[in-house]
Amino acid sequence: MSKTTSYGLFIDFGSTFTKAIVIDFDGERVVGRAQTPSTVETDITLGLNAVLDKINKVQEVEPAYRYKLACSSAAGGLRMVTIGLVPELTAEAAKRAALGAGAKVVGVFSYKLTKKELHELETMAPDIVLLAGGTDGGDQETILHNATSLSRCNLHAPIVVAGNKVASDEIQAILASGDKEYVITDNVMPEMGILEVDEARSIIREVFIRRIIEAKGLKKAEQYVERILMPTPSAVLTAAKLLSQGTPREEGLGELVVVDIGGATTDIHSIARGDPTQPGLVQKGLPEPFVKRTVEGDLGVRYNASSIIGAVGRENFEARLGNPNLDLEDSVNELCLFTDRLPESESERGLDTELARSAARLAMERHAGTIQTVFGPEGEVFIQYGKDLRGIKHVIGTGGPLIFNPAPEKILEETLYSEMDPLSLKPKAPEFYLDERYLLYAIGLMSEVEPDKALRVAKKYLKRL
Amino acid sequence: MKQKTVILGVLGVDAHVVGNKILEYALRKEGFKVANLGTFVTQEDFIKAAVETNADAILVGSLCGHGELDCRGFRENCIEAGKGDIHLVVGGNLVVGKQSWEGVEQRFKEMGFNRVYPPGISPKAVIEDLKQDLGKKDHE
C-alpha cells in the first residue's frame, strides 16, 4: 500500500457507534470525523462502509491512506475472567492486569474454584481467562487445582497463565492434556509487594489481536483497515500514557488523570506514581501500577442511571438535583430504555448533568487512594492506601456526557479533593481539559506508528476548560 | 534443606522498623527467602501473605507493648486460613510493666506461638532456632 500520502484513518468499532477520524500527518490536524450505528451483529463492514462513505463525502476525493488502524469495543468488548489465590493479593493483581489491558472484567475468582464457580465461569463465557495464583516459589496447590478444573471444563477461551512460575511446567502439561489454548507468561505478583502486570498486559493484547478479533466476527473489517490493534479502552490508556510521558523528542504534560464517562461505565485512568505527598505517611496495600485503569460497571449515565442514583442515595441525589417537579423514577427508566437519547428539555439536561456529576465523583473516589487514621501508643498514625492524586496538575475529560454537556467543567469539578472529605486523595487544583473531538482513541492508535505527531495533535486539540 | 520462606513484619499500630530491617538482612544472608511486610501489619496481612507465598514461618515483631492484645487469636486465624501448622515466632517488647519473663513466654506459648523471644535477643540466636525448628519439621 502507498505510504506517500499524508492522511491516516482511525476507526473505533464501538458497541453502539462505528467512529472514524482522519488525521493529516503533515499538517498535524484533524481533517474529518464521522460516526454511524455499528453493525457488528450483522456484518461489521456495513457500518464501516457507511462511515467511510461519510468521511469520503466530506473530503471529495478518496485519499490513499498512509495508515488505516482500528480499535474495538464491539461485541461486548474484551470480556475477561481473572483468577487468583488471595483476593487482596494475586486475585487483585490479575484483575488490575486485565483492566490495564483494556478488558471488561466480568468475573473475579479466588482460592480453589468450586464446581459452582466453574459453572458460573462457563456461563460467563469470557473471551480470555487470566489464571494467576502464588508468588514465584510460593503456593502451587491452588493454581494447579484451578488449571486442572479449567482443563476439564466446557470453555474454549484462551487461558493466559501468569502465576507461580514453579508451577508453570505442570500447568502447561495439564492445559495441553485438556486441549486448551494457553500462553504462559510472567507472574503478576512474583514476590510479596511486587506487582508486575506489564508482561501479562502485552500478552493479553497479543491474544486479542490473534484470536479474539476473529472470534468476534471483526476479522472481515481487516480487509478494509490494516489492523485492529487493541481494545478501545486500551487505546485511550495508551493515549493517556503518551500525553503524560511524552516521547524522547516531544515533551509530555506530566502526571495526569483521564475521566471517561459513558452510558454503561465510567473509567478513570491515572498515569501517576501516587506516592505520599505529606511526611509521616505509611503506605500499605498492594503496590499501585503507574498506569492504572479502573472501571465502574455501575456508573453509566444510561444503562446504569438507576444504579448511580442507588449509589448516591435517592434523597441525596434529589437534593443535589434540586428539581422537585421531576418524576425521577420515570425519567430514569426512560434513560435506561432509550440509551441513545439526548436530553431535550431543561429538566432532562439537568438530570443528565447530575448523573454525570455523580458518576465522576464516585468513580474518582473509588480510583483515588485514601488515608486511614489509626491510634497507637505514640499518638495518631496515618496510613495511605492507593494513590495520592492530590498533586495532579491535569485532568482530562472524555466521553459523550462530558463532550455534549454545555458545562463540562461543572462535571469535572466533582472529581476534586474536598475539605469535607480530606481523607480521599483526589486532585486538588488541576487544570481541566476536554477531549471535545473524541480524539483520544485515535491518538492511542496513532502513537503506535508516529508517536511524536500523535502527541502534538493531542496537545493541539485538547481544549483547556 | 530446601530454601525456606518466612514472612516478617511488625504487628499492629507500631512503627519500630529498625529491628525489622536488621532481621531481614540477617535472614537473607542465611539463605532464607523473606517477604518483609514492614510496619503496621495486621494479623490478616501476615496470614494472607503466608498463604500466597506458602511460607514456612511467620516472624512477628511487636515493640509497642501491646503485643498481648495484638497477638490474640493469631494461631486460630492461621488455622482458619488453612495454615494451621505454620511455625509462629514472636519477639520484641511484648508487654509493658515489670513482669516475669517466664510468665510472658508462657502466655504467648499458650496463644500458639512456637518461639517467644525477650527484648534484646540477637538475630543470630533467632535464626539458629529457626533453622533447627524448620529442619525438625521437615523430618516429621
B43: distance to nearest CA of chain A, Å?
Answer: 14
Domain annotation covers residue A412: yes
- Residue at A59 is within a domain: yes
Nearest to A395 by CA among A302, A329, A465: A465
Summarize the confidence of residues B22-30 as an average pLDDT.
Answer: 96
Whether residues A360 and A394 share a domain: the answer is yes
Give the CA count within 13 Å in the CB-facing half-sphere of A144. Answer: 11
Are residues B65 and A377, on separate chains, in Cβ contact within 8 Å? yes
Q: Grid coordinates standing for A103? A: 478488558
Q: What is the pLDDT of residues B36-62, one digit of tens each?
A: 999 999 999 999 999 999 999 999 999
Chain B: closest CA distance from residue A134 (Å)? 5
Q: What is the ipTM of this complex?
A: 0.85
Q: Are residues A182 and A249 in the same domain?
A: no
Pair A48, A106 in one domain: no
In a domain, A173, yes or no: yes
Residue A24: domain span? 7-75+216-225
Give a yes or no: residue A249 inside a domain. yes
Same domain, residue pair A62 and A176: no
Check CB contact under 8 Å for A139 and B33. no
Residue ranges of chain A with pLDDT lower than 70? 1-4, 58-62
Chain A residues interacting with chain B (CB cutoff of 8 angstroms): 85-86, 88-90, 134-135, 137-141, 189, 191-193, 282, 284, 374-378, 381, 383
Determine phi and psi for B34, rounding to 5 degrees.
Answer: -115, 125
A16 lies in some domain:
yes
Within 10 angstroms of residue A193's Cβ, the number of other Cβ atoms is: 15
Pull the grid cell for residue B85. 501448622
Q: Has residue A93 been placed in a domain?
A: yes
d(CA A180, CA A306): 40
Query: Are residues A101 and A70 located together in one domain of the fold?
Result: no
CB atoms within 10 A of CB A381: 18
Burial of A357 from C-beta contacts in 10 A (0-12 / 13-18 / 19+): buried
Q: What is the CATH number of the domain that holds A57?
A: 3.30.420.300
Cell triple for A107: 468475573
Q: Report the C-alpha gap between A352 and A375 in whole angstroms.
A: 43
Domains of chain B and any CATH numbers: 5-139 (3.40.50.280)
Same domain? A279 vs A324: yes
| pLDDT at A2 (0 to 100) | 43
pLDDT at A224: 83
Are A251 and A279 found together in one domain? yes
Task: For residue B16, indicate whether it is catalytic.
Answer: yes
Residues 76-135 of B with CB under 8 A from A: none
Q: How many CA atoms lie within 13 A of B131 on its CB side?
A: 13
Pick the closest to residue A146 from A91, A102, A96 (CA basis): A91
pLDDT computed for residue A55 by the predictor: 82
Does a structural domain hold residue A67? yes
Question: Is the CB of residue B58 less than 8 Å from the CB of residue B130?
Answer: no
> Strands A128-131, A291-296: parallel, antiparallel or unpaired by DSSP?
unpaired
- At residue B1, the pLDDT reads 67
Please compute, for residue A310, the number of CA atoms within 13 A of its CA located in the half-sphere on the CB side: 8
Question: Least CB-CB distance to B40: which of A89, A282, A377?
Answer: A282
Same domain, A54 and A102: no
Query: Is the same domain home to A292 and A430?
Result: yes
Same domain, A163 and A198: yes
- Residue A71: per-residue pLDDT: 94
- Please provide the distance, in angstroms rounded to a whole number, between the alpha carbons at the two ends of chain B: 14
Show Cβ contacts of residue A401 under 8 Å, excluding neighbours closer than 6 positions.
A261, A262, A263, A301, A352, A355, A356, A359, A411
Question: What CATH number should be reported for the domain holding residue A97?
Answer: 3.40.50.2300
pLDDT, position A352: 93
The helix or strand, by DSSP H or E, that contains position A145, with its residue range, turns out to be: helix A141-152
Kindly state whether residues A84 and A57 are assigned to the same domain: no
Burial of A181 (0-12, 13-18, 19+ CB in 10 A): middle
With an 8 Å Cβ cutoff, are A137 and B7 in contact?
no
Predicted structure pTM score = 0.89
pLDDT of residue B16: 85
Closest CA to A387 of A425, A416, A419, A417: A425
> Domains in chain A: how many in total?
3
CA–CA separation, B129 and B140 (whole Å):
17
Indicate if A206 and A220 belong to the same structural domain.
no
